[in-house]
Structure 1
Amino acid sequence: MHNSTVSKWGVVSAGGVSRVDCHVKVLDDTVVARARRAGFDAIVYAPHFTRLPEIRRRAAVYSSDDLLVVPAREVFTGSWHDRKHVLAIGLDEPVPDFISLDAALTEFERQNAAVLAPHPEFATVSLTAADLKRYAETIDAVDIFNPKHLRSHNRRARNLASELGLAPFTSSYAHLPRSVGIAHTEFDAEIETEADLVATLTDGVSRRVVHRNGLERVRTTARELAHLIYENTWKKADRLFLSGIEPTHPRHIAYDGRFDDVSVY
């Protein structure tokens, strides 16, 4: 069973329709196979704690004429206690995690990236209503259906997008390959390249948010929430970031000191 939320933004582009899973965290043969079975034209690959060159390399390996894999970064802004996730598509230069929100958005804007707000107001890992309002001119789309959300979270996200006049999107937000296919965004545009997707998002092209309902959706939410609990243990947080030498730490040598003044660690 599917449910589709129709939202019109800007001018409908001529030339076709593209189905895009706007955010997956995992990428392997199973993910690609599921995306193809679902009829997707593209998926956006944005794994945690991985630098942009590596994301681009892996995306290129799995991208083909049948399925475009777009590299992206979900940057963790702020501290581990109060981190706010922001998804940037179309970056040319790496941006680290754990810098201030203002610094991250300024850098995304400098690079002309599309800026998306995943899972707004969810737990302590998301942009708040106040953040969305403050940065409405910079944010290109808001996640209005997320498989990790309960129904009340999705309803709140839809209301926020509507109140602020921000374009919607959805994705599988798959941390597990089995989640791919549960949701996608259908754009009134032909998307054949990363640049096409960035332009579609930043131009506010009309689109439909499509997701599954019923038992499959409930099972997907349960699996993804269980994975979230594992992913956010203190042990993992300490291992990943507080040593200060990981690939996406702002003081890593790869960033050449550019983000030292906006680092929160």
Structure 2
Amino acid sequence: MHVKILDERVVERAKARGLDALVYAPHFVRLPNIAAKAEAFSDEDLRVFPAREIFTGSWRDRKHVLAVGLTDPVPDFVTLEGAMRELDRQDAAVLAPHPEFLTVSLEESDIRKYDVDAVEVYNPKHFPEQNDRALEIARETGLPGFTSSYAHLRGTIGEAWTTFEEPVTDASGLADLLKERAPRRVCHRDGLEHRLRCTVEAAHLVYENTWGKIDRVLLSATEATHPGHIAYDGRFDDVRVY
């Protein structure tokens, strides 16, 4: 349901693990580029669906929102309210990845406030108690769950997956199933190898949160998903935080 990397080796591993589809949502890449790459790596055996994990709020108080079924690009670093309003306008499926994880996630109160379609109840980067809390949030809000490998590294592909009863052929169809709260099964591997892969994936957070990356990606209006980028034509100026 959510991977950050996509290349031939990712596709090979996904197929070897028995997956039918991947949701590809890399950081700081505009939707048209994501969609083009997803299509390039799709075939009859594995579909790759484009999505966006949007960074809402400021760097110090950011909340990630995973959107499936977008029709138009949405930048990062806009207010949560502004992002949710835009996702509603596009009738996209809105998911809460890694809820209440560190300072990068939707809180239970946010999930209750906005029209969220599913809550991630298992994430390889989580400690067991954090996955327990995520499952509790889903139960308390009455929302269905989902899981994903959240793979930033190839080795995590296929460690966790969500199975729907109905076939899905494109991102719009997946968005419809999510919005309809269609039946699904949430699955993940277990054992020592799985725990080791989860540990390595969690350690990758250190790299993901270096100040060098903040300076290079988040604070420059020349970056592709900065709300001040020319591609957005000022449409998000009223809700941007940088």
| SS of match in other structure, 1:196 | helix
Structure 1 stretches of 4+ with a deviation exceeding 3 A read: none
2:121/2:135 contact within 8 Å kept:
yes
- Whether 1:163 and 2:140 are equivalent positions in the alignment is yes
1:164-183 map, 5 Å: 164-183=141-160
Across the two proteins, how many residue pairs are aligned to each other?
242
| CA distance, structure 2, for counterparts of residue 111 and residue 45 of structure 1 | 19
2:220/2:226 contact within 8 Å kept:
no
| Structure with greater contact order relative to length (CA < 8 Å, sep ≥ 6) | 1
- Whether 1:215 and 2:192 are equivalent positions in the alignment is yes
| CA distance, structure 2, for counterparts of residue 209 and residue 180 of structure 1 | 15
Question: Once the 2 structures are TM-superposed, how far is the Cα of residue 217 of structure 1 from its aligned partner?
Answer: 2.1
Which of residues 74, 77, 83 in structure 2 aligns to 1:104? 83
Q: What is the aligned partner in structure 1 of residue 95 from structure 2? A: 116
2:148/2:160 contact within 8 Å kept:
yes
Matched residue type, 1:105? M
Identical-pair percentage: 57
Question: Once the 2 structures are TM-superposed, how far is the Cα of residue 42 of structure 1 from its aligned partner?
Answer: 0.8
Return 5+ residue gaps in structure 1 as ranges: 1-21
1:251/1:257 contact within 8 Å kept:
yes
Question: Once the 2 structures are TM-superposed, how far is the Cα of residue 66 of structure 1 from its aligned partner?
Answer: 0.7
- Whether 1:225 and 2:202 are equivalent positions in the alignment is yes
- Whether 1:29 and 2:8 are equivalent positions in the alignment is yes
Q: Deviations over 1:162-192 (max 9, x none)?
A: 0110110000000001100100001111112
| CA distance, structure 2, for counterparts of residue 194 and residue 53 of structure 1 | 13
| CA distance, structure 2, for counterparts of residue 182 and residue 105 of structure 1 | 30
1:133-148 map, 5 Å: 133-135=112-114, 138-148=115-125
Q: TM-score, normalised by structure 2?
A: 0.98
Q: Deviations over 1:141-182 (max 9, x none)?
A: 000000000100000000000011011000000000110010
Q: What is the aligned partner in structure 2 of residue 6 from structure 1? A: none
1:25/1:45 contact within 8 Å kept:
yes
- Whether 1:196 and 2:181 are equivalent positions in the alignment is no
2:123/2:148 contact within 8 Å kept:
yes
1:148/1:225 contact within 8 Å kept:
yes
| CA distance, structure 2, for counterparts of residue 254 and residue 173 of structure 1 | 28
1:41/1:191 contact within 8 Å kept:
no
Return 5+ residue gaps in structure 2 as ranges: none
- Whether 1:237 and 2:203 are equivalent positions in the alignment is no
Q: What is the aligned partner in structure 1 of residue 111 from structure 2? A: 132
Matched residue type, 2:211? W
Q: Deviations over 1:120-147 (max 9, x none)?
A: 0000000011111211xx1110000000
RMSD: 0.8
Which of residues 61, 80, 95 in structure 1 aligns to 2:40? 61
Q: What is the aligned partner in structure 2 of residue 47 from structure 1? A: 26
Question: Once the 2 structures are TM-superposed, how far is the Cα of residue 195 of structure 1 from its aligned partner?
Answer: 1.9
Q: TM-score, normalised by structure 1?
A: 0.90
| CA distance, structure 1, for counterparts of residue 186 and residue 213 of structure 2 | 33
